[in-house]
Structures are given as structure tokens and as C-alpha cells.
Structure 1
């Protein structure tokens, strides 16, 4: 049996969530770069693996799984040494699942709306998108409460999923320490993980540089 293969590019927050999980469990994996912006997800070969042509996609023992949430819970369940990242206790697991659904239904879409607003010339769209992101921060602050992590007192895959998005957003919409103390402390704690830079930081830096270039070009071409 070969190594699990992760298809995608590390600029993608969803891919970075998978990489964070893989590093946390010590998984020996291969990363195959597949860039949707270059239509590399729409080749006949890739469509056989994932007809939705999305990244990340995981191939493990000849079987394919896509959607980052499905992938990280699968990896933690199959390869982790214990169940701390994705608890077997039904209540604790439900809390983790809720946070993952929050990422997919609230935080993720609001991040995409914010990205779209940057490409818009509508000031109100930008302001509405910013308001939506700050509202998501408010929810995350409440999720953490007096705990150390988003789903309780121990690190879980929910932290990885939200960390990948939050670490991207906070570069453009900062989280104020006074308003979001729990969230800021959580981010500081996770950014010190020994595998953070390799699994998340390197890809994040590519996103920041690409965004700065996009803004510069838009400013240069403005009438």
C-alpha cells in the first residue's frame, strides 16, 4: 500500500486544513499539486477521482475522498494514535462536527464573499463583507469561551479547519485583542505548533503575496 496522496495547492485554506491534520497525526503522505485555476482539476484523469473537480482530494489505498471536512475526520479516525483530534464520545464529536459545519456554512462563505468584494468597485459590498467576517469572529469568540480550543479543552480537527481560514482572513480584517481575546489567544497558541509553518504558513504566505500583487495591479489600472 502506497502513501496517501493529497491533491491540491497549499494556497487553498481547505488544503491547508488537511495538511495541518496530516502533520498533527504524523502521516507520511504525498502532495500532488493540482491547481484549479489552471483547469488541472478538469482533466479526464482527475475527474475519475473526483467528479466534482474540487480540492483537496485524498487518495488512500486506491479510494478517493473529497471535501476537507470529510478528509480530516477520515484521516484522524484512521491514522491518529488516539481519538483526541476527533473524539469517539458522541457529544464531544457532535461539538467538533458543529464547528466544522460552521466553517463550511458560515466562515467559509463569508470569506469567499470578502474575496469577491475586493474585486468589486462597490464600497458597500466591501463594508458588508467586513461586517460579516467580524460577525463570524464574534461567534468564534463565543465558541472558545473559557476553553483553550474551539471545541473544548483539547485540540481537534475543528481547530485546523477554522485555523486555515482564520489565519488568512486576519491578515486583511484583524481581530482586535480587546474585542476577541479568546480568539486572539487561540490563534497565538496554534501558530506556535511545531508544524504550523510547514502545513499552513508557507501556503498562507503565497496567498498574501498574490493578494498584494492583485491589489497593486488593480490600483495601477484604476482610472
Structure 2
């Protein structure tokens, strides 16, 4: 999504989960995770690091990742909030329950909601995650909130997140084209998992 925002062409290779365990992939990324960026032999993993690098290296201006140290620090703060506070319980629930096809875990489920409340409070004060303009913090947080949305958790109870979610998706060029297939696959997976255990979220 960041590459689209700054207007650079990319060649995408789809990687199956099973491929990440192969020796060939581990040579590319010893952490055995996606995404991985290969920029003419420079290899970089972790989406937030990749987004920062792309902005530093290729962006025509600093709107997505400000050069001003204080404004950049706020963006970094929200990137850290996403990674350590918001995204962590979301991914914990995904991995432990859905991807492993385990029953619903209410304790893990409830841990998602306080970070959502905090993010909603941030967006009550600002248009976007790090202030009044769209940055790479919004790109990362958009991925996290998309996972919440795919679970079927109603965002209407977080009106500022819902406003931001809809607005942010309009900003990213070809957002639906980029994410359509993946979102459908995720929602199908969630639907099958919910059906197995007779679950419904609101």
C-alpha cells in the first residue's frame, strides 16, 4: 500500500505459508516471515520497517513520513502503538484461535477492546493516527483494523475508528484491487471457523 502511495512499481511474488519454512526462504529472511522486500539485493523484512525505508528512499516529499524530528516521532509512536498495543492482541487471537482452529478464547478476545478504545480516543482528537495528515502509521493501523473488521466485530461502537477506516481506504490508490482477494480469503476462513464453533460477534 505504501508503494502505491509513493508511486513506485513493484513486482509481487506470492508466498505460501509452507514456503516460509523452506531453506531457500530462510536465506531470504531467517525470521521465516512475510513480507520481505528485495530492493536490488537489499533485503528487508517487517512491514513497518519496509514502509519507513520506502519513504526514506523513494518518496517525493515527506508527507507520509515527516523529516521533522518531532512530527516523525509522533508517527513512530503510533507505529509502536500499533505493533505493541493494538496489533498484538489481535494477532494473538488470530493465531491461537482461528489459524489453529481452536475454540473461542474469551480472555484473548477481550484483550482486543481496550486498545481499540484508546485508538478511538486518539481519532476523536485527530483526523488521522499521527495528526491531521495521512502517514505510514495509518497504513499499518489500517491493516490491523482490517483484521478486526474481518472478524465481524462491529466498528460502529468505535465511531472515530469507523470514520477513519472508511476515509483511509479511499486515500490509498487501488485499495480494493490490492486487498480484495486477500480480504475475501480471510473472511471465508473466519466464516468457516465461526461455523465450526457456532460463533457470532457483534
TM-score tier by shorter-chain length is 0.7 to 0.9
Give TM-score, length-normalised by structure 1: 0.79
Following the alignment from structure 1 to structure 2, what is the Cα–Cα distance between the partners of residues 33 and 54? Answer: 13
Q: How does 1:62-211 map to 2 (within 5 A)?
A: 62-115=41-94, 116-118=96-98, 119-121=101-103, 125-126=105-106, 128-171=107-150, 172-177=152-157, 180-193=158-171, 194-211=173-190
- The aligned counterpart of 1:29 is 10
Farther-moved stretch of structure 1 (191-200 vs 98-107): 191-200
The alpha-carbon distance between structure 1 residues 201 and 147, as it changes in their structure 2 partners (threshold 3 A), is farther
Residue segments in structure 2 that go unaligned for 5+ positions in a row: none
- Alignment counterpart, residue 58 of structure 1, candidates 37, 53, 72: 37
Following the alignment from structure 2 to structure 1, what is the Cα–Cα distance between the partners of residues 192 and 5? Answer: 32
Following the alignment from structure 1 to structure 2, what is the Cα–Cα distance between the partners of residues 218 and 182? Answer: 31
Give TM-score, length-normalised by structure 2: 0.87
Q: Using CA pairs below 8 Å that are at least 6 residues apart, which structure has the higher relative contact order?
A: 1
Aligned residues: 193
Residue segments in structure 1 that go unaligned for 5+ positions in a row: 1-19
* C-alpha RMSD of the superposition: 1.8
Report the CA distance between 1:143 and its aligned residue.
2.1
Following the alignment from structure 1 to structure 2, what is the Cα–Cα distance between the partners of residues 202 and 151? Answer: 29
Following the alignment from structure 1 to structure 2, what is the Cα–Cα distance between the partners of residues 76 and 198? Answer: 22
